[in-house]
Chains A and B, each alone.
Chain A
Amino acid sequence: MKPPSESSNKEISRYGGLWDLVATGVGRLLIALFVPAVTFVVLLYVFIFLRDSNAPQWVIAIVAILWGVGGVAVLFLAANAFIEQLPDRWKSRLTPFVFVGPAIAILAAYLFLPAILSVRDSLFNANGSQFVGLDNYVYAFTSPAMLESFRNNLLWLVLGTGLSVVFGLIVAVLADRTHPRFETVIKSLIFLPMAISMVGASVIWRFIYNFRPAGSIQIGLLNAVVTAFGGNPVAWISFKPWNNLFLIAILIWLQTGYAMVILSAAIKGIPSELLEAARIDGASEFQAFFKITIPYIQGTIVTVGTTIVIFTLKIFDIVLAMTGGNFGTQVIANEQYKQMFRAFDFGRGSAIAVVLLLAVIPVMYYNLRQFAEQTEAF
């Protein structure tokens, strides 16, 4: 495992004296410091150019992409050049940190420390000047906006997750019995919305839910269908409380593909003898599905469900783009954004973020326990 290392004693005898050792040591140190320093200065100057220049957009784009992508590579090379100059003992001690150090630093700076700071901010007032104790949590758990958000998030979690999994399971099970080429086409079509942003999806669905007063031509598909059957057009997006369901439909449309892909892989892993044996014993397709398929892929269903729950908990873009949180459709993440960015109340914004964090703690605990069990020898 360890790279072949020479002892420093050998080095001294090879260079034949203390003076040489000091000279090469200083030389090495200079090189070691010089390379990263130059790298840093160059990167800094390009950054200032990017921030302040009025060059055409495409020039900025190209320079920025090259700088961003190349910059990280250069930083790693510079760190390596620095390490290479050090005595072997230090080299082997520091090399692991050249590899994992940047990741640890970024994780600490962007997730770990901010989480702690958010907890602190949540105990202070809007601009952080005064300690307010649990006032922000009182807001987070009792204000009408947040109570509405909790109710709606619960709806999103139950219906959004539940129906995504159900539809994903239906497609996965049925497609498994069709011609492979047909299966691929159907699965691609169901999967396609995953590539679409939630803002893009909101444009698509606002068009579907488009409403015009009775008597005028409906250009929204849903109202066109309703009026074609003689009904009155409905303003779906402001139609309380059902409008929540119409927003959740967008999530289901986006996430079913994900559930389908994962569940499909699990279903293909069921040994075919198992199902055949059940059929020979006279089990109907439905019995085979509920008695064999479902129990066999139970674990996968839980994983898929958990992933979609975590995703749904943070749902934000759809509500912002569809209703802005109006008409009784507010959700936690959008209320957090509103407090943070519209009201500039960093205290309340932080408290709501902490609520979101608390909600995922059980999953985090489960993941960690799972990890500890699987990797005794890690």
Chain B
Amino acid sequence: MSSQRSSLLGKTFVYGTLIILALIWSIPTIGLLVSSFRPEDDVLNSGWWTVATNPSSAHITTSNYQTVLGIGQQANVAQSNIQLSDAVLNSLTVAVPATVIPILIAAFAAYGFAWMRFPGRRVFFIGVVALLVVPLQIALIPVLKVYLRLDLNGTFLGVWLAHTGFGLPLATYLIYNYISTLPRDILESAFIDGASHFTIFMRLIMPLSLPALASFAIFQFLWVWNDLLVALVFLGADPRVEVLTQKLLGMLGTFGSDWHLLTAGAFVSMILPLVVFFSLQRYFVRGLLAGSVKG
């Protein structure tokens, strides 16, 4: 009897604690989401939670989103420089290649390290491991100087290569760990059939490594999409190439009290990572588990 009661008590404690923690963790995001759908007057004159406490006076609108995305209604002068639609495209233009390029380069390198013998192999791989934790701040000024000389600053190519460089140690390390565990006889029998390294890599190893590639892809995509520092340094303030995080930072300065716009803008920047995250959570977790040090 008493042991039953104590186990019930224990259960209540476990479930109660978890529910409270999950609420604390979710409320900030819920507040943002609710506010982004409330009209300006409501957002600025009452807390977002009044939607729940006093539902009869609540209004819902998508006008905040129309304003920040520059859709429909004529935006006034001050608001015309917060159109995020270009920034969404820029973020995509930065993030997709900055995800694919390092994966491709790292996969080739991982294959080379795992299956080929060549002079310097061990030294180079030790270099990769050493670079895993190097803070990217160390590279900003020298790379920026070269970029300014080569006219690469403010170009997508410059940012892709920078993200590639900073993501490459982890990518190579993760994919190497995966590829090196693939059974060796697959490779040997392919060689006997006369296939070249290139063919084996494209036809055999890439498809087999998809889980590892997917894990890193999600990791890198979220990293690049959410990055601010690399964008600020290498893209600069040119509105033609500005990405979402830069825009959002600008809005925090200029529209710091326009919460109806800020909340909508923040949610616009979050929607794609959240979709990627929820649809591919399994791969993401696998990637996190496989290698947990990033520089």
Interface residues of A (CB under 8 A from B): 1, 3-4, 47, 50-51, 57-58, 60-61, 64-65, 68-69, 72-73, 76, 80, 84, 95-100, 102-104, 106-107, 109-115, 117-118, 121, 167, 170-171, 174-175, 177-178, 182, 185-186, 188-200, 202-208, 210, 217-221, 224, 253, 256, 258, 261-262, 265, 285, 303-304, 306-307, 310-311, 313-314, 316-317, 320-321, 333, 336-337, 340-341, 346, 349-350, 352-354, 356-357, 360, 363-364, 367-368, 371, 378
Contact = CB atoms under 8 A, between A and B. Distances in A.
A202 B252 contact: yes
B178 interface: no
Nearest to B111: A99
Contacts of B141: 114, 117-118, 121, 340, 346, 349-350, 353
On chain B, which size bracket covers the interface? 35 or more
A108 to B, nearest CB: 9
Given A118-B142, A217-B45, A353 B129 contact: no
Nearest to B222: A195
26 contacts: A47-B157, A96-B112, A96-B116, A100-B108, A103-B106, A103-B128, A107-B165, A174-B18, A178-B14, A178-B15, A195-B274, A195-B276, A202-B252, A203-B252, A203-B262, A207-B35, A207-B259, A207-B263, A219-B45, A219-B47, A221-B27, A333-B135, A353-B138, A364-B133, A367-B293, A368-B129
B281 A265 contact: no
B190 to A, nearest CB: 10
B51 interface: no
A258 B136 CA distance: 21
A182 to B, nearest CB: 7
Contacts of A265: 289
Interface in B131-158: 131-143, 145, 151, 155-157
B292 A262 contact: yes
B107 to A, nearest CB: 9
B216 to A, nearest CB: 14
Interface string B233-258: 10000000000110011001000100
B212 interface: no
Contacts of B138: 111, 114-115, 118, 353-354, 356-357
Contact of A190 (B21, B276, B285): B21
Contacts of A357: 134-135, 137-138
Contacts of A368: 126, 129-130
Contacts of A84: 196
